[in-house]
Amino acid sequence: MRLAGRAAIITGAGGGIGGAVARAFAAEGADLCLADLKAAPQLATELAAHGRRVIDVPTDVTQQAAVKALARATIDAFGKVDILVNVAGTVSFGAAESLAADEWDRVLAVNLKGTFLACQAVIEVMRRQKYGRIVNIGSILAKNGGNARPWLDRGEQTNAANVAYGASKAGVHALTLFLARELAADGITVNAVAPGPIESAMTRNFPERLRSLIPAGRKGSADEVAQACVFLATESSGYITAEILDVNGGMWGD
């Protein structure tokens, strides 16, 4: 029960990775605020049945007022916010030359702006507590320029996440590093988990031919990402900040 007595906000809780993070945190004793565009009553009921205090707060992370209300709801329910895990995200596919400007804006609004707004909303309470753990979800695609190999087959890019997604996640990595320096003196750590291909709705069209690029020979699981988030959220990780933790089966190493 490494998170017993801690209060955590999980954005994107209605998705595969977000749900896995919520379950992993609940198993470690955390009280939870679940946040997604739509309510997640089944997940909330499931976690509450295991003795956790749970609130379900539908939130559009691209809207500052909504994100501030999310933080206030958590404080009202639990008296504090110890942990924030930013999982909320969206993906985009296709070639750069056909990428619409509106699609670029949509992806960066959710993945980058949404992550920033959620971080910003909890800074004051975490500073007041002199304690906090922020874990952002980045991506291998923020580092490797994409999994697709269009110089071999342009068609690979069709079903692979594109430059808008990679740029948004690179922004999340930069945000993580800046906030880690800015908040360290207040007892707040800021880290990111950068998954490779993970079995989820976002990767259902992952080109099978790209599986051979994964040294581990398989896509990862949401639970494996969740366990990395748990580690970075615990008290024992207090000397780790500004880290981008790769969870990618060996596809990329720093």
Q: Are strands 54-56 and 188-195 parallel, antiparallel or unpaired?
A: unpaired
Q: What is the DSSP letter of 100?
A: -
- The string of DSSP letters for 146-213 reads -S--TTT-GGGGGGSB-HHHHHHHHHHHHHHHHHHHHHGGGTEEEEEEEE-SBSSGGGTT--GGGGGG
Alpha helices in the chain (DSSP H): 16-27, 41-48, 64-78, 101-108, 114-129, 163-183, 222-233
165 among known catalytic residues: yes
Catalytic residue chosen out of the listed positions 25, 116, 131, 165: 165
Residues forming the active site: 165
